[in-house]
Amino acid sequence: MDIRVLGPLEIIGDDGRSCQVGSPKLRAMVSALVLAEGRPVAPATLIDRLWGEEPPAEAQASLHSYVSNLRRLLEPGRRARARSLLTFGPVGYTLEIDQEQVDATRFLRLVGQAEQAAEPAEAERLADEALALWRGEPYPDLDDQAYAAAARARLTEARERARELRVGAVIRQDRHDELLGELEALTYEHPLRERLWALRALALYRSGRQGEALETLRTARRILAEELGIDPGDELRELERDILGRSPALLPDRRRPEPRSGGPSSAGPGSSVPPSGRPGAAEAGIAGRKDELAALDRLLEAAAAGRPGFSLITGEPGIGKTRLAEELVSRARARGFTVAVGRCAATEGAPAFWPWVTVLERLADTLPPLPADVRADLPGVGSATGAEPEGARFRTYEAAARALTASRRPVLVVLDDLHWADRSSLRLLGYLAGHVQDGRLALVGTARDWPPPEGALAEAFEALARRQAVRLPLSGLAAADLAELTPAGTDVSALRDRTNGNPFFVTELMRYLETGSPGRGTLPLGVRDVVLGRVNRLPEPSATLLRVAAVAGREFDVAVVAEAAGLDLDTALDLLEPAMTAHLVAEGRPGRFLFVHALVQEALVAVVPVLRRARLHAAVAAAIESRTGGPASDRLAAAAHHWFEAVPAGHTARAWRAAWRAAEEAKRLRAYDAAVELLERAERLAGDDPGLGEAERMDLLFALAEARFGAGDSLGQEAELTRIRHLAKQAGDRRRWIEAATGYGGRILQPWKVYGDHDADLVADLEELAADEGLEPSARARVLACLALQTYYQPGRDPAERDRWSAEAARLARQENDATLLGRVLFARYYALLDPDSVHQRLAAGEEMARAGSEAGDHELRTIGLTCQGGTLLELCRVREALDVLAEAERLIGRTHMPYLRIMLNWLRLGVLASRGDLEAAESLLAATVAEQRTTSMWGVESSTAGATYQVALMRLRRGKAEAVQPPQDVTHDQLDRFNADGYAHFLVVSGRLEEARRALGPWERQPPIPRTFVYLFWLVIRCEVWAALGDREACADLYEEASPYADRMGISGLSLLMWPVSRSLAQLAEALGDTETARRHAEHAESVERELADPSPAHPHR
């Protein structure tokens, strides 16, 4: 769309056709809205600008008609319920367009760029491009009111400056002879512009006409003296002196830069904002917030420079959070930002990701094309890919981050009323705060400061705090600031005492007083009383309808409210008119209205009795469900909210079923956090429904388990599946029993228990199921694979059992020709066989997973297989092969967007970096990996962090930075568990404190065996180095015998912590035993492996 106001108003649509703008009043309204540059214009202001001081009685109705006509004109193909370019908010109407769509904005930008151009050819081109936009007097449809005259004057001045710039640029290119006639005409057309006389004289002089040049300057002197009574300025006097003296500076080959006089800014049509975008006198437009605006200005400056930033504006209701954000929006637009505002709905019935959907829709037209897979993953876009739920959630987060930082222009995102945001929206905000490090993005949220934030809101605030977001807590305005909001003569000190400086309370109180003259003793006590006092002055039918609308929500569909109130649509619209006139309700999206402030809606809802309110919620819910059109997520979420609020009126069954339906839609949109909230509510309500059957109850719990895993809560998923398992077993429901017993984790990933724990009850169920000869092959495969995994930590189990069960599971899965089933079974087999003697079986499982993923086109499965394969190859000291395999896995991770795959790979990368001694890179990777793992459902972040921290601390010790990692003093063996004893002693040994290490450990015969789990080789190499340093020959001999079978292996902990080759430890033991030849042989092997690890070849990504 192209809106042209430099001449007769013209609107060019997206199809390139000119739109016929109807009556003069409609053209005037468009011009007034354009002139506001994206700032809201109050209805009263529009009426004044269209009709002047004496508007007709029907002006308000006519204005609504013009608004409707303009919307049809601007957006003839707009979808139903889609956001309009012309919006109405608490302040007034806003034309939400990109200011670059206005020719006046482009014109001022081009003139500004021409002024700054270093090369004259570029300045000429820019000035010509600007002048080509000029078609006549700007804003001709507006009368001569001061606001329009000022805009015209500014644009006209910019046009004259563009003409001067163009002429100066041509002269600087030695083409002065082309301009003599044009300059003569310009000086007679604008005889008081000294710059034009100077350019004309210079062109004449360079054309060899020195006498005419001097005569031109004498003419300029005479005109200035006659017209203004002044002498020429410095430029004309110096030019005359240079011409008389034939100064070389005037010759073409001695070009001087054109003087810079104060020109127009590129802020936009009619703007009073200086070129930098900083407000000057406009700061008075928002009272008492000078410091806050300065902080927000700095945020915009940083974003424009490519340093993304976040801010949080907090305060009590009505304190001015939204007003401050609106001022920020105006300033951002003046700076050339693309602005998107997402408002969180004031009810729990908003669809998941609601504010983000609004933001991304607003940005859609300004972004470069995004890949189809990124568009499909954006919040609010349903794409059933069948992928891991947690991966789908993170793909949505990453797609949003990519979209927000893809614009070529700086972007401001405002999220208003975060205290009402759904959990999924808040989790996305937290993710962005932690992960967006590049891009021209400023993100600002507003929220109430009471009650204290909790749950997802508290987590989002914590993420913003970690990001060092600019926190702006707002308090009441001072008396001096209130004077700007009130009529002259108001006792602002008394008003400040009465309202605590709350701007909304002040405004509402003044409006209340304007509608009548109550005595001082009858003044309302609080803001709610003020609002209700104004509502009570409406006609009773309007007030009644307003209470129904308040139950429907801050923003409401008028057709839904009409149906809930038992009215036809026309009657409802008529009844809303008095509320609009009283500034209680404003027009919103098409077919929708909104209360001008949440406090208005809250005050109305509070006075509706509980049971009456519940019946109204039921009526609203039924009306919503009866409607068609628009996104299903909108209807389902809203209906679920209202049915829940209708429970006191006896609607329990409808409430929990509506919540379940809305949760399924939320899961489809990858809003798992929102789905959890809905399903938790549904599960609580369903327990009170006598019509609930056992099968339906279990299916509801299955849905909740899936949502919990998708939201990153694997322990919550386990708890729900345990409940289902017990219910299914009692009910004799074998299908659901098997599904619950084997459903832990996601599509392929299956979480482990906490180290050393096992669930004996689950194992017993799995063994009972495995004994059933009638199980289908796929079910048996899942049962055996889970049994192998769940018995990993169970005492007294033979590892051969796990090998046998998981091998049989893999055989059955292959017969089913199901790549996902095979991947899940092989993953379980890999982890079930994480012991030092099953390395080759694990390698085969990893290779088969990678192969199956490749054949099925399943990038997730292939990446898991490659990661397992690469980690096992590292364990086998086949370093070059391992790094090549892991490099391929790293490339694939970019396609899968699966955080747990990146985390698994990063733990291996950390070990490689540690083995190379790259301390800075290792510390950076450790911090990033820990932060990311905490956002997932993966178990073991504490133990992995502890182990990795141990690695990094050990690197510090070896590099002589022991002061940062001093072990605690006076710790005895009895105070340490079997793992930490060796680790603590190792620190002491590396620090050279051998006697302390010996005292901490005690005698060799007291040392417990190392568990033959995935940590075995990790602790084995540490124990070997400790006892070799202590020189205990018995210990060294025993350890040499224990470690020798693993001479060609790496000291590694599963797929994470990587230490050093076992052969290095064997070399140390042999040296301690006096066998130097054997020590040399082991050392050569270790050095060979370590050289390969240190190889910086480009084929190895782990540099």
Region 753-781 average pLDDT? 91
CA–CA gap between residue 341 and residue 910 (Å, rounded): 41
* 501: DSSP letter: T
- Domains belonging to the chain, first-starting first, are 1-173 (1.10.10.10), 175-247 (1.25.40.10), 291-473 (3.40.50.300), 535-608 (1.10.10.10), 824-959 (1.25.40), 974-1094 (1.25.40)
Q: Check whether 284 has a pLDDT greater than 60.
A: no
In this prediction the pTM is 0.65
Specify the pLDDT at position 846. Answer: 97
Region 641-655 average pLDDT? 95
Under the banding of pLDDT at 50, 70 and 90, the label for residue 651 is very high
Residue 314 dihedral angles phi and psi, to the nearest 5°: -125, 160
Neighbours of 632 (CB within 10 A): 15
Task: Please calculate the CA angle 621-656-700 and round it to the nearest 5 degrees.
Answer: 145
Region 645-666 average pLDDT? 95
Region 1043-1069 average pLDDT? 93
Under the banding of pLDDT at 50, 70 and 90, the label for residue 389 is low
Q: Helix, strand or coil for residue 633?
A: helix
Neighbours of 895 (CB within 10 A): 12
Whether 418 and 460 have beta carbons less than 8 Å apart is answered as yes
Length of the chain: 1103
Place of tokens 């049989």: 808
Region 602-630 average pLDDT? 91
What does the mean pLDDT of the chain come to? 84
Under the banding of pLDDT at 50, 70 and 90, the label for residue 1055 is confident
Task: Tell me which of 10-14, 458-462, 640-644, 938-942 is least confident.
Answer: 938-942
Region 887-904 average pLDDT? 80
Region 592-617 average pLDDT? 90
Q: Check whether 495 has a pLDDT greater than 80.
A: no
Q: Which tops the pLDDT comparison, 185 or 520? A: 185
Percentage with pLDDT > 70 across the chain: 87
Region 58-70 average pLDDT? 79
Specify the pLDDT at position 274. Answer: 27
Neighbours of 237 (CB within 10 A): 13
H helix runs in 966-1103, sequence order:
978-990, 994-1001, 1016-1030, 1033-1043, 1062-1072, 1076-1093
Specify the pLDDT at position 426. Answer: 94
CA–CA gap between residue 278 and residue 447 (Å, rounded): 25
Q: Which tops the pLDDT comparison, 909 or 391? A: 909
* 79: DSSP letter: P
Specify the pLDDT at position 126. Answer: 93
Under the banding of pLDDT at 50, 70 and 90, the label for residue 83 is low
Specify the pLDDT at position 871. Answer: 94
CA 409 vs CA 126, 308, 414: distances in Å: 20, 13, 16
Pairing of strands 441-448, 309-315: parallel
Region 479-485 average pLDDT? 80
Q: Which tops the pLDDT comparison, 446 or 215? A: 446
Q: Check whether 810 has a pLDDT greater than 90.
A: yes
Burial (Cβ within 10 Å: 0-12, 13-18, ≥19) of residue 674 = buried
Region 409-432 average pLDDT? 93
Whether 1050 and 1062 have beta carbons less than 8 Å apart is answered as yes
CA–CA gap between residue 29 and residue 73 (Å, rounded): 13
Under the banding of pLDDT at 50, 70 and 90, the label for residue 1103 is very low
Under the banding of pLDDT at 50, 70 and 90, the label for residue 701 is very high
Specify the pLDDT at position 262. Answer: 35
H or E, element range at 1060: strand 1057-1061
CA 942 vs CA 17, 430, 974: distances in Å: 63, 21, 23
Q: Check whether 416 has a pLDDT greater than 50.
A: yes
For 29-60, write each residue's pLDDT tens digit. Answer: 888 888 888 888 888 888 888 887 778 877 77
Specify the pLDDT at position 981. Answer: 82
Region 520-535 average pLDDT? 67
Q: Tokens in use for 367?
A: 């972004």
Q: Which tops the pLDDT comparison, 241 or 411? A: 411
Under the banding of pLDDT at 50, 70 and 90, the label for residue 1098 is very low
